[in-house]
Amino acid sequence: MRQLTRWGNVVVLALLATVALGSGAFADEPPKVHIDSGDTAWMLTSMALVLMMTIPGLALFYGGMVRKKNVLATVMQSFAITCLVTVLFMVLNYSITFTEGTPFIGGLSRFLLQGVVSDIAANTKNVPSVNSLAPTIPELVYMAFQMTFAIITPALICGAFAERMKFSAMMWFIGLWAILVYSPIAHWVWGPDGFLSSGNDKAMVHVLDFAGGTVVHIDAGVAGLMCALVMGKRRGLGHENMAPHNLVLTLIGASLLWVGWFGFNAGSATSAGLQAGMAMTVTQVATAAAALSWMFVEWIFKGKPSILGICSGAVAGLVAITPASGFVGPIGSLVIGIVAGIVCYWGAVWLKGKLGYDDSLDCFGVHAIGGIAGALLTGVFAIEGNGMQVVNQIEGIVIVIVYDAIVSLILLKIIDAVIGLRVSEEVERDGLDLNLHGEVVQ
């Protein structure tokens, strides 16, 4: 009798559970989302490392290469862009870049980050807000990490127009460019439904770009070339001494860029695992190889290895390995680094001299040329690639270059017509520091 009663209780409980499930008693049970504390800690660290790349890394790298009368104006550009893009990214750019919308631009579900904030406020069942692109970390952490990419990309452009653009024109150009060029291109390549995204099964072209060879470096380098062409050469170029005023600052800046780049590349794994470890390793190898190859090429052709050369070579290696860092092994990274040092030296020295444009600090020569070389070699050495991947890479490069060049050119022409792009001859002669900011380096 007791056994029958026990089995009866089991049957009753099973029936009650079935009824409860059928009636939706557990319909509000939240989905299981796993937030990994190790991944989150690594991404918080990576965010700080990538921010360090711009301030103070890029600021010092560029600041040391200009003349003394323009050093404050140059570092001010990096700092002001950091502030400007932070606000723009929080208000609009994160949403239109990293949420679903169309294959060409994201939606407005995260406008002013309200989607993220409301999810957190309503989080009564410990369900954190996540982005499908990084499901093991809180969405705010992913947003902050991607914000630092959006900051450094337009800051790189400043190297092309150094020592001659108005501060007001720079702020307008960078702000509009961040919205109209960076965010669409980043959505194409990295967005969940971007038409160039390797993670989108419906994409027209699958472009491999692990950490920004196309999105960041080709993007910035092409815009820099447009700035150099529209604005013309610095006054006195070829007649006056325009040697860098403090290469120690440049060396410190390059070193900070190198260290920060581990967050840039290894952080793009969005997790603390094997892929992050491989990305960090190949970044170190490619950077060292590129610095050496640039140094030796310069040594052969100019007779002496220079501090500026080895620093530029290191940055060239960092640029070229960026798109490949999550897809190639150590041997591939060694080849990419060697090639990057050679082709970027060619771009910064021979090509610039041959075509006659004034890319002041070699934004195009290092970032666009290095980014193109890295994107192509990603297709060659990618472990996850295929025979057609080089073709996909070429298609992605061409699409980004054409769009970037056209929109950047239109923006520059409009701003020039409305407020003017370039400082006056007197301001350029006396220096931007005193005339634009009322300060000088003693």
How do residues 155-206 score in pLDDT, each as one tens digit? Answer: 999 999 999 999 999 999 999 999 999 999 999 999 999 999 999 999 999 9
Q: What's the CA gap between 66 and 128, in Å, rounded?
A: 46
Q: What's the CA gap between 286 and 319, in Å, rounded?
A: 9
CATH numbers and ranges of domains, the chain = 37-437 (1.10.3430.10)
* 165 φ/ψ angles, rounded to the nearest 5 degrees: -95, 140
The helix (H) or strand (E) run that includes residue 100 is none
10-residue block means of pLDDT along the chain (442 residues)?
A: 43 36 37 80 98 98 97 98 98 97 96 76 57 91 97 98 98 98 98 95 94 97 98 93 96 98 98 97 98 98 97 98 96 98 97 95 98 97 83 97 98 98 96 96 86
Q: What's the CA gap between 223 and 329, in Å, rounded?
A: 31
Q: What's the CA gap between 213 and 190, in Å, rounded?
A: 12
- DSSP letters, 93-143, are IHHHHHS-S-SSS--STTGGGHHHHHHHHT-TT-----BTTBTTS-HHHHH
Identity of the residue numbered 53: M
Burial class (CB in 10 A: 0-12, 13-18, 19+), 434: middle
Neighbours of 338 (CB within 10 A): 19
The helix (H) or strand (E) run that includes residue 111 is none
- Residue 271 near residue 281 (C-beta atoms within 8 A): no
- Residue 310 near residue 282 (C-beta atoms within 8 A): no
List the structure tokens of 439: 């300060």
Residue entry with tokens 């190198």: 258
Which residues, in sequence order, are CB contacts of 417 under 8 Å at separation 6+? none
Identity of the residue numbered 154: P
Q: What's the CA gap between 431 and 437, in Å, rounded?
A: 10
pLDDT digits (tens, 9 = 90+) for 106-125: 999 999 998 886 555 555 44
